[in-house]
Chain A
Amino acid sequence: MFNFSKNTFKHGVHPPEHKDDTCTMKIKQFPFAPVMIIPMAQHLGAPSQVVVKEGQEVSRGQLIAKANGYMSVPIHAPVSGVIKKIGLVHTLSGNRCEGIYLEAFPFSGQEVPAGHGVDWRTSNQDEILAGVQQAGIVGLGGAAFPTHVKLKVPDGKKCEVLMLNGIECEPYLTTDHRVMLEQSSDIFMGIRYLLRSTQAERVIIGIEANKLDAAEHLQNNIPEGLPVEVKVVPVKYPQGAEKMLIKSVLDREVPSGGLPIDVGVVVVNIATCAEIGRLLPYGHGIQERVVTITGPGVKKKGNYLIPIGTPLRFALEEVGVADNISEVYMGGPMMGMSVSNLDISITKGTSGIVVFTEGETKKQGKPMACIKCGACVQACPMSLNPSRMGILAKHEAYQEMLDQEHIMDCFECGSCAYVCPSNIPLVQYFRQSKSSIRKQKLKANAH
């Protein structure tokens, strides 16, 4: 009934999916933590700027931090309560940033008053983009890139296709799957806003073949007159990467160093689209998001609507974890980060929490010599040569990595390290190399 596409991108891997545990579980509201910890650096770009004072009472949905420039978004109170403290908070990266400790009022109604809505029928592009920014929306897929920046079609470029990313190729995660099943009206409302702001002619929703129920549901509910196509693509990691999705669905290649708009496409994560459709009509800000909490170490696995700022420790205690947990990841196990400190919070970019137990985590063996098996070369979706880049990275031959091996095209999907039989931490090498190259570039520009 929908458009099956046999096309797919080159290479890639097939990690075990582990989605069955949670893909049938309806999104459930998560309780409020007694104290929310809200970091200002929740998105790419400049951290938000606090606009409240210690001791101030705030109501749910109220602006507590404003956008700090164009590459930034505001933050809204996830719960009615009192600002207990403004100070440094831990973040996932291990650094600390400014944050707000918000103590919840236990008996508040937690209703969110409506603000200035944006009407999709009457508003123009700029008004919609401003509305998206004011709602504090960032990409909910994990990268947390400010959505209004992404939606801005540069002068002289044209958006032909609006691509909604419902791929969710990370193992274990099922948030987008549930959002597609449960929030289709929000998604279609979001599409109206996105169509208007990007001026795209058509909309394609890309979904992996392991979520046929979601594809079917969306296909059946496309509103009259909305130019939406649902396209199902074969299951392969990392299909959810923008460049891979565009290749699979449209058979177009985003040029190296370029953006999807260079081939006439704007890609938006499907949950982000749903959020736009839900918030913009009422002028609300984003206060919660769907998070899959799963993994062998979790007792009550599921998809939860969790207030942003909920401390990870509270979330894990609430769902219950096994005694022998050993690793906790924010995001999926392929690209997510392992957590060292449970006093960080769930932010706008948290798509999942995966908990592994001692039994599950294979002891990451010691790195051995590269035997040039080529498995990484056959896995890299960008057709890079991770083996060679790994050797160059060890010798800090960054210039060669840049000139000959296209290191900057690596988006750290982890396919190479996933298949490497010698346990070489390739992605780690590339992350460091890329950051060194960026630093060198900055230095060169400064002189």
Chain B
Amino acid sequence: MLTKTLRITTSPHLKKGMDTPTIMRHVVYALLPVAIFSVFVFGSCAFWVLATTVLSCLITEFLINQIAGNHNSLTDSSAIITGLLLGLTLPPIFPLWMAAVGGFIAIALGKMAFGGLGNNVFNPALVARAVLQAAFPVAITTWYPAMQADRFQSLPSSLFTTPFFQPVFDGVSGATPLSAFKFDQVVASANDLAFGFVSGSLGETSAFLILVGGIYLWYRGIINWRVPVGIIATVFLLSGALYLIDATTFAPPQFMVLSGGLMLGAVFMATDMVGSPMTNKGMWIYAVFIGLMVVVIRSWGGLPEGVMYAILLANAISPHIDRMVKDRVYGT
């Protein structure tokens, strides 16, 4: 006699394998090589910056959940992604207390204020990076040369600046390829850019490893290839056209694609599911928009870099893209 109590579930009773925490975990895996390589290029200081942003994000999310009485959302790994991404946008000798403030802002302002994972409009790491840029303009544009001989033995003192005091930088700052071009018209070699042995933010370095991470995420079905391809192609074509018009004012296209935060932004930030459109058509519009903004800001703006603003702006219009660009419903 069958007496078993049966479980009632709603159809469909099958489920495709990947859940949200798994997706987030795969993004972390894809980011790790980039993070590890940045530690190799810049030394221990890079590790401390990344550790600080990740920890700060996790602690902030934990505390906000406690205060708001939410369930514990740390297990979905999304705070780790935000921490890693934020850390990767910062200079290697960024004062740790400022990095911690960044982590707090990313989670508190960029994510939890909107209602937590899925409800945020902007990429939390970029929100924090934008605030840090406004608050600490000197610290965030003070660079550090790559591949210093003693990078694993000594830590730059500016890392440990006392909170709320102006940091005194070590005096070993080096220009990033983008600022070198913007202010002195010096073009770094594409090879150095692609493999990452240049000065810059932690994650600005290896285009190659970022690409590997991106291909991994695409293979897992986590990112839509149209976004990175659309952004990179737009930047390449538009800057190529400008370069053809005037090679003395505008940077060569391969340089534009490989330098700065473009690769990291195109592969890991613009593809953030929450902030990007849902349809393939929408993805193209979003990607081309980002590409256009990057070239415009870099070429005519006051700052050497434009990826952050381009993505934040695109995040803002993404819900509107979804509203205006819909797939045609069958039979209509």
Which residues from A are CB-within-8-Å of B332? 255-256, 406
A339 to B9, CA, bound (A): 9
Give 16 A-B pairs besides A328-B6, A334-B12, A383-B326 with Cβ atoms closer than 8 angstroms. Answer: A15-B14, A171-B14, A247-B330, A258-B331, A338-B11, A340-B8, A361-B7, A364-B15, A368-B20, A374-B273, A384-B329, A417-B10, A417-B11, A418-B14, A421-B22, A422-B19
Which residues from A are CB-within-8-Å of B329? 256, 382-384, 406, 409
Interface string of A236-276 (1 = CB under 8 A from B): 00000001000100000111111000000000000000000
Are A327 and B327 interface neighbours, CB within 8 A?
A: no
**A82 close to B (CB within 8 Å):** no
Q: A372-B273, A385-B326, A418-B12 in contact; A326/B7 too (CB < 8 A)? A: yes
Interface string of A373-384 (1 = CB under 8 A from B): 110011001111
Which residues from B are CB-within-8-Å of A354? 13
Q: Which of A247, A325, A364, A373: most chain B CB closer than 10 A?
A: A373
**B119 close to A (CB within 8 Å):** yes
Which residues from B are CB-within-8-Å of A338? 6-11, 13
**A48 close to B (CB within 8 Å):** no
Q: List 5 A-B contacts (CB under 8 A).
A: A326-B7, A409-B329, A418-B12, A421-B20, A427-B10
Q: Is the interface of B mostly helix, strand, loop or mixed?
A: loop
Q: How many residues of B contact A (CB 8 A)?
A: 41
**B51 close to A (CB within 8 Å):** no
Which residues from A are CB-within-8-Å of B279? 374, 377
Residue of A nearest to B273 (CB): A373
Are A321 and B20 interface neighbours, CB within 8 A?
A: no
Which residues does B use to contact A, with CB under 8 Å? Answer: 1-2, 4, 6-16, 18-20, 22-23, 76, 115-119, 224, 273-274, 276-280, 322, 326-332
A427 to B13, CA, bound (A): 11
| Chain A contacts with B in 15-55, Cβ cutoff 8 A | 15-16
Which residues from A are CB-within-8-Å of B326? 383, 385
Which residues from A are CB-within-8-Å of B4? 325-326
User: Which of B6, B11, B224 lies in contact with A374, CB distance below 8 A?
Assistant: B224
Are A372 and B6 interface neighbours, CB within 8 A?
A: no
A339 to B5, CA, bound (A): 10
Are A333 and B19 interface neighbours, CB within 8 A?
A: no
User: Which of B9, B10, B14, B278 lies in contact with A372, CB distance below 8 A?
Assistant: B278
Q: How far is the CB of A117 from chain B (nearest CB, A)?
A: 40
Interface string of A324-348 (1 = CB under 8 A from B): 0111110001111111101000000
Which residues does A use to contact B, with CB under 8 Å? Answer: 9-10, 13, 15-16, 171, 243, 247, 253-258, 313, 316-317, 321, 325-329, 333-340, 342, 354, 356, 361-362, 364-365, 368-374, 377-378, 381-385, 387-388, 406, 409, 412, 414-415, 417-419, 421-423, 425, 427-428
A421 to B24, CA, bound (A): 11
A29 to B18, CA, bound (A): 41
Are A255 and B117 interface neighbours, CB within 8 A?
A: no
Residue of A nearest to B9 (CB): A338
